[in-house]
Each structure stands twice: as C-alpha cells, then as structure tokens.
Structure 1
Amino acid sequence: MPVRGDGRELPTDRLVMAAVAFEGGEDIAEARHLARSFLTDLRKAHGVPVSDRAMGMVQLVVSELVTNARKYAPGPCLLTLEVEEGAVEVTVWDSEPCLPVAQAADPGRVGQHGLEIVMAVCRSFAMHREPVGKRVVAAVALADDPIGDEAGSA
C-alpha cells in the first residue's frame, strides 16, 4: 500500500494511475511529460514522497520502453503508470509478440543499450506475452530512503 509523506496510507478505494495510448505520430517527449505530470500530481495531490532519482528514472524508463515499442512494434502502444507498493509500475503494451532480449554488455557498442539500462535502474522488470502482443512491466521505487528526498520540494 502506498504511504503518504505524513506516514498515512493512501486510501485503497482510490486507484492512483494514468494511461495513454500512442497511435504513432506522438513524440516520445509526450510520454516523458505524462510520467513527470503523474509523479508531480502524486506528490502534490496525494502527499506521496517522490525522490528526485525516481522522477528521473521513471522518465528514463518510460522513454526507453515507449521508444522500443514505437520502433519495433507495428500499430499502437499503451503506456500505464500505477502506484504499487512504494513504486511506480511502468507498463507498456504493444502489438509485437516477440519479447525483447537484452544484449550482453559491450562498452564498444553504440546504441541498443535501452533494455539493459531499464533492467539496471528498476526494482523489478518483467515481460509477458499477451493474446495480442506483449506487456513489459518495470517498477521504480518512489523514495530513496525512509525520509523520502521529495522532488520539487524547493
């Protein structure tokens, strides 16, 4: 259960999430903007601590996963952000059933590091084939420490 900055739990009767479908013409910056707005609203409207690190990492994960979906899957993709157990679950569904594979680390390789970066910065990472396409789910912790280095607290 998510906990507010004052230590109280968020009400279980209110689902804290955002979702958007991308049809193909949208810029990846729109996905990052949705993530930033979601986290800002989470902090301001719900009192949930969101660290500076979480703010940046969620935007990075969203950017990488939506970029991969737009690049490798035909048709639309769906981005969902949801608070789950002290983390933001970033879920991207697309129509390509083939699961991505992270390449072996190679500091000489230019590009194609997105999936390995996502896997390195997330608390958890999973991929699932769906009846149509696949779903990639990555969770980023909201707070770096028990006090919570809140983003935008200045």
Structure 2
Amino acid sequence: MDAAARNEGQEPLADAPVTASAAFEDSAGIAEARGLARDFLTAVQAQHGLPVSARAMDTVQLVVSELVTNAAKYAPGPCLLDLQIGEGAVQISVWDSSPTQPSIQAADPQRIGQHGLEIVMAVSQTFCVHQEPVGKRITASVMLADDPGGDPAGRRAM
C-alpha cells in the first residue's frame, strides 16, 4: 500500500488517493502482480473500510494477470502496474514499452489462446489505451462492490 495514502494513524487522508504500484521485468512477475492486487484490495477493505466483493477480488486479479502477461509477452523491458481506488472502483493501469496498439481478434472458437484482451474488456467497467511518449498505457476499471440491482459488473443496460 502506498505510504503516501495514509497518515501516521493509518487513517485515509481525504484528498490523497489510495494506490499501489510495482514494476515487473518478465513473465515471472505475473504471479507477483496478482499477489500485489490481492494484497492491495485486502488492505483497502481492512484499513480503509471500503467494500470489496469476492467477484471484484477475483476479477481484479484476472485483469492484472492478463494485462501484465500481455506486456511481458509482447513488449521488451519492464512493465509498470498501477492500482488506484476511486469512485467505488479500482483502476488498473499497465504501462509497457511497445507502441503497438493491442487488438482483439475476430471470434474463433478453434483459436487457442490470445483471448486475454477479450476477457479484460468483457469483465471491466471501462477500458482504454493511451499512447505514451514511450510505449502505451492500458487502463481498465472494476467496480469494488456488486451492484445492488444484481448486475455483478455494475453495468446498466441501456
């Protein structure tokens, strides 16, 4: 947990974001990234009293795993993972050094693998890709609590 997000008494500061960040060098960091996400959300519940549903806990770890896996697989060098709480959701952001925009392939039930981006987009509240001066940043958000209306992703039908 980012120490800047708490004061000496472990209470959240009203204007400081609750964040966690880490850099990962290769595919060995994928499990570490999932662990960071799990530990971060556990601390968000315990130290800040924010509700985190079991669905959110699992979904955030899945999104982190898929995004860090893609960065390790397709971009040279390290990737950076940032987690931030805001407006009842966790924002998951992964930067990597490759300027190549990710793309979803056409549906093909015979294809083995390369479904990670499809999965991330399906389970996330929001998803976007930003070009950076070097590389790109992919950001997705996942609602922390289940929707009281019953929709586990917090989405509303239009």
2:29 is equivalent to residue 27 of structure 1: yes
The list of structure 1 runs, each at least 4 consecutive aligned residues, that deviate by more than 3 angstroms after superposition, is none
Q: How does 1:76-115 map to 2 (within 5 A)?
A: 76-115=78-117
Query: Which amino acid is the alignment partner of residue 128 of structure 1?
Result: H
User: TM-score when scaled to structure 2?
Assistant: 0.83
For residue 15 of structure 1, report the CA deviation from its aligned partner: 1.6
For residue 24 of structure 1, report the CA deviation from its aligned partner: 2.4
Pick which of 98-107 and 17-26 moved more: 17-26
Q: Is the 8 A contact 2:96 2:136 kept in 1?
A: yes
For residue 84 of structure 1, report the CA deviation from its aligned partner: 1.7
Q: Deviations over 1:91-129 (max 9, x none)?
A: 000000011001122222111000000000000000011
Q: Distance in 2 between matches of 1:34 and 1:22?
A: 11
2:92 is equivalent to residue 60 of structure 1: no
Paired positions, count: 138
Percent identical across equivalent pairs?
A: 64
Higher relative contact order (CA 8 A, sep 6+): 1
Q: Is the 8 A contact 2:94 2:138 kept in 1?
A: yes
RMSD of aligned C-alpha atoms? 1.5
Q: Distance in 2 between matches of 1:110 and 1:23?
A: 26
Q: How does 1:1-154 map to 2 (within 5 A)?
A: 11-24=13-26, 26-146=28-148
Q: Is the 8 A contact 2:17 2:86 kept in 1?
A: no
Q: Distance in 1 between matches of 2:51 and 2:148?
A: 10
Q: Distance in 2 between matches of 1:109 and 1:50?
A: 34
For residue 26 of structure 1, report the CA deviation from its aligned partner: 3.4
Q: Distance in 2 between matches of 1:114 and 1:30?
A: 18
Match of 1:150 in 2: none
Query: Which amino acid is the alignment partner of residue 102 of structure 1?
Result: I
Q: Which runs of 5+ in 2 are unaligned?
A: 1-11, 150-158
Q: Which runs of 5+ in 1 are unaligned?
A: 1-9, 148-154
Q: Distance in 2 between matches of 1:114 and 1:24?
A: 17
Q: Distance in 2 between matches of 1:61 and 1:89?
A: 10
